[in-house]
Amino acid sequence: MARRSNHYEAAFEAYVRRLTIPCVAVDEARRPLSDEGSIKNPDFLIYPRQARNLVVEVKGKWGKNASGRRPWENWVTTDDLDALDRWQTMFGPGFVAALVFVYAEEAPDHPLPPMSDSGFEFRGFVYRFWAVALDDYVRHLRSRGMAWKAVSMARDAFRSRVRPLTDWLPTTETALPRPTGVAPRRKVRQLR
């Protein structure tokens, strides 16, 4: 289960579920062991109907700085990248590891339409979701500080390679109509 106290991850999960994309929130409290020791879990596994499956690490950032500009902050830790790389290898060619940057801003005075291009409103904030493939991100790294083990992409390189999350999830509620003659799936009662 994702940490629901992390509003970026909670917003991401709500957004993906609103798109009706199958999604598994991974329990981050229990790290699995591999031949190389423990490995950090990804945040989510996403199963789009018309694209490759995703191993997702969510990175939350503020969308605008004090002057109202979008700084496209995109730093991550090297531990995040190493773990994503290991998961992508373990899951195999049917999966792509991706970093999803979730940018939050204060909600406007007037509510947005539920799934507008202006963002996804959730718990008093507006979120925008952008993704970049792990392999592409790693090719364009620069260090943010050895002590922090943090890296990022240059802003221009990041902006030219990052894509809206919806590009990675090509099915939406209206994009793929249910074939005629197929009964809708029943909701399974959640056990708690």
Instruction: Dump pLDDT digits (tens) for 4-55.
Output: 688 999 999 999 999 999 999 997 776 665 666 778 899 999 999 888 999 9
pLDDT at residue 59 is higher than 90: yes
**Can you list the domains of the chain with their CATH numbers?**
7-168 (3.40.1350.10)
Residues with Cβ < 8 Å from 171, sequence gap 6 or more?
A: 19, 20, 21, 48, 49, 50
DSSP 20: T
pLDDT at residue 65 is higher than 80: no
Express as a percent the part of the chain with pLDDT over 90.
Answer: 47
At residue 81 the predicted structure's pLDDT band, cuts being 50, 70 and 90, is very high
pLDDT value at position 78?
A: 92
Query: Rounded to whole angstroms, how far apart are CA atoms 77 and 148?
Result: 7
Average pLDDT on 154-181 reads 70
pLDDT value at position 181?
A: 36
What sign does the CA torsion over 155, 63, 114, 112 have? negative
130, 103 Cβ separation under 8 angstroms: yes
Query: Rounded to whole angstroms, how far apart are CA atoms 23 and 12?
Result: 10
112, 121 Cβ separation under 8 angstroms: yes
How, if at all, do strands 23-25 and 76-77 pair? unpaired
pLDDT at residue 1 is higher than 90: no
Who has greater pLDDT, 176 or 91? 91
Amino acid at 118: S
- Strands (DSSP E) found in the chain: 23-25, 33-34, 37-38, 44-46, 53-62, 76-77, 95-106, 120-122, 125-133, 141-145, 150-153, 163-164
pTM here is: 0.80
pLDDT at residue 114 is higher than 60: no
